[in-house]
Amino acid sequence: SWEVLVLSKLKWDIAAVTPQDFLQHILVRLPIDRHTWDAHMILRHAQTFIALSTRDYSFNMYTPSMIAAGSIAAALHGLDWTGKSGCSLNKLLHLLHRITAIEMDYLQSCLHQIEQMVTASLNSDHVTCSESSENDLSSNSASAVNSRSNVDHSSLHGGTEKIVEHGKAGTPTDVRDIHF
């Protein structure tokens, strides 16, 4: 598009800073025993929380570094690092405050909101799963009834029914997968 052409001619870099950009920098500075704790697992949990936060408009009030710090705190707390390492959640937030220079109140607020979002997401997934299992049961019984009937459905429609196969979505799921 013209916008991209103008930006490239002006040599402007308008890449947005995201919470993902802060994760490694914060994790390296935390006193996590790399032999006991899998840093990759902590990173994956934090990335999941960040991905979930992008769907919730209420996270727009937080900067990317706040969301990254809150996601790391939620990941470590969820993996029980705070319990097993002897470092309380308050001490973890204080460490994150020293690393990022983000006020404790903002870190606590962001962490609390992440925990609420995860709880709400788990509750909605539980409701969706129970509804889909009920739908699966009713569709299985309906297909069993249809398979027992002796009516040839292809002759009713003249054999012109086509099966449409849906593949995976063609849109990239990660910002890093977009290449201009």
pLDDT of residue 46: 97
**CATH, residue 31:** 1.10.472.10
The range of the structural domain enclosing residue 74 comes to 17-119
pLDDT of residue 161: 42
Q: Assess if residue 97 is contained within a domain.
A: yes
Q: What is the pTM of this model?
A: 0.66
**Using CA of residue 84, residue 85, residue 91, residue 95, what is the dihedral sign?**
negative
The mean predicted confidence, pLDDT, of the chain is 79
At 26, which amino acid appears? I
In angstroms, the CA 74 to CA 43 distance is 11
- Interacting residues of 176 by C-beta distance below 8 A, sequence separation 6+: none
Domain count across the chain = 1
Torsion angle, alpha carbons of 118, 119, 122, 127, to 10? -140
At 94, which amino acid appears? H
In angstroms, the CA 76 to CA 89 distance is 9
> Is it the case that residue 25 has pLDDT exceeding 70?
yes
Q: For the beta carbon of residue 116, count every other beta carbon within 10 angstroms.
A: 12
pLDDT of residue 6: 87
In angstroms, the CA 7 to CA 18 distance is 20
